[in-house]
A = this chain, B = another copy of it.
Amino acid sequence: MTHPGKTKPYRITGANSRTVRSINRAVIFNVIRERQPISRAGIARLTRLNKSTVSSIVSTLVSEDLIFEKPVQGRTPGRSAFGRNPIDLGLKKGTNLVGAISFDPTTTLLAVVDIDGSIVCSEEIATDVRPDAAFIARCADRLVSLLGSHGLPPFRGIGVSVAGAVDPARAHVVLSSNLGWEDVDVGEIIRQRCPEVPAIAVENDAKASAFAELWFGKHDIALVNFVFLSVGRGIGTGIVIDRRILTGESNLAGEFGHMVLIEGGIRCGCGNDGCWEAYASDRATVARFVGARGEGGDCTTIDDVIVAARRGDAPAIAALEETGRYLGMGIASIRKAVDPGVIIVGGRLCAAWDLVAPGLLGTLRAHMFAGARETMIVLPTSLAVRPSLLGAAAIVQRKIFGDVRVTV
């Protein structure tokens, strides 16, 4: 593990005028996504790009059917009383659909997703991963038939999210202990099933969710450096730095769930002891609830615990509060590690945010530096559906609509 071995080859790339174009195109597209409706003039003000540059790029985006124009009629409060009315720009819906698949040990979600992250139609099927290739192919088929039954235009791409280690470059699931997958060529299976779909992307669920939050989330704060914390059967995190997902050298960045929280603690499914997710995942919460309550009852999911807590069941409330405290402990470590401005928590647990948050924030505060000026905002997800489903859509959209990578 020490001397021998190599790091990933480092591809040095210079920039040229096409680089500039793709950067500015991405900047403008992002601004439209986040601030729509917005006029050309508004974009120019915001980005400090020249009006003519904005016009030029906007016209290509319009010709590519990515955005639409809508002249403003009346006067809106924010604007001056004088002058020509702007032409508002917004994402053009209906013509650029992607398919999204979110695999999960119990239910797999399929959806047709529009360019703004809105769900056109969706389907939920019970996960049945034996054999894996057949199930993946079946999901692809259902997705395509979903298009047909609603009379929709063909997919621009299909995105997939899975809990576990994923290699996005190869659209390949390296290891998903949740699903029992090892070295499954998800991308290839879908490509064979849907040869007419031009783009396929696969990503880890938490990383994809983080990206969905960045693109489709509704927040009144700017998301630039943040961490998406996905609490479910396990705990996954997606780290976003300067609006880019942190992949790490082996695509394993953000495996905070298997960070040791308590040395020599509870045995985790990964084989080690004391992992964070052995204390704060939904399974841990359920186990704590069942343990405290003694046997009896048929509580098996986090939803059951939340329902019980809402009924006023003391052990259920205690279990959730305890989970909050464990979450706070782990989040404290995340803050020390990457100092994000925001932590966004996703998962069914968010339905009991009022019960979880106090313990979480209290523990977090207790783990602050003594004279700390740290500020960090902790929020539940703003996404209405399962974040990893929207994440699957977002990562393939990024692939289609222009990803920019600049190496210095």
CB contact between A7 and one of B7, B244, B369, B377 (< 8 Å): that residue: B377
Question: Given A332-B260, A373-B250, A377-B5: A241 and B241 within 8 A (CB)?
Answer: yes
Shortest distance in angstroms between A358's beta carbon and chain B's nearest beta carbon? 10
CB-based nearest B residue for A219 = B7
In the bound complex, what is the Cα–Cα distance between A165 and B336 (angstroms)? Answer: 12
Contact A48 B254 (CB under 8 A): no
> Which segment, of A12-20, A149-157, A287-295, A298-306, faces chain B?
A12-20
Task: Note all chain B residues with C-beta closer than 8 A to A361.
Answer: 1-2
> Given A2-B377, A20-B15, A249-B225, does the pair A271, B336 have CB atoms closer than 8 Å?
no
A182 to B373, alpha carbons, bound, how many Å? 12
In the complex, per-residue mask of A23-36: 1 if CB is within 8 Å of any chain B CB, else 0: 11011001100000
Q: Which of A361-408 contact B (CB under 8 A)?
A: 361, 364-367, 369-371, 373-379, 404, 406-408
Q: A20-B17, A20-B20, A271-B370 are in contact. Are A223 and B338 (CB under 8 A)?
A: no
A40–B174 Cα distance when bound, in Å, is: 41
Size class of the A contact interface (CB-based, 8 Å): 35 or more
List the number of copies, as a whole number: 2
* B249 and A339 contacting across the interface, CB-CB below 8 Å: yes
Q: What is the distance, in angstroms, from A309's C-beta to the closest C-beta of chain B?
A: 20
Contacts of A165 in B (CB 8 A): 373
- How many angstroms from the CA of A243 to the CA of B249 in the assembled complex? 12
Give 22 pairs: A residue, B residue, CB < 8 Å, sorted on A.
Answer: A1-B364, A1-B365, A2-B378, A3-B379, A5-B375, A7-B222, A10-B224, A13-B47, A14-B24, A15-B20, A15-B27, A26-B408, A27-B408, A174-B373, A177-B371, A250-B374, A251-B339, A254-B337, A256-B337, A260-B367, A272-B370, A333-B337
Known: A12-B47, A14-B27, A249-B375. 7 other contacts (CB 8 A): A1-B364, A7-B342, A20-B20, A244-B408, A250-B341, A261-B263, A272-B367
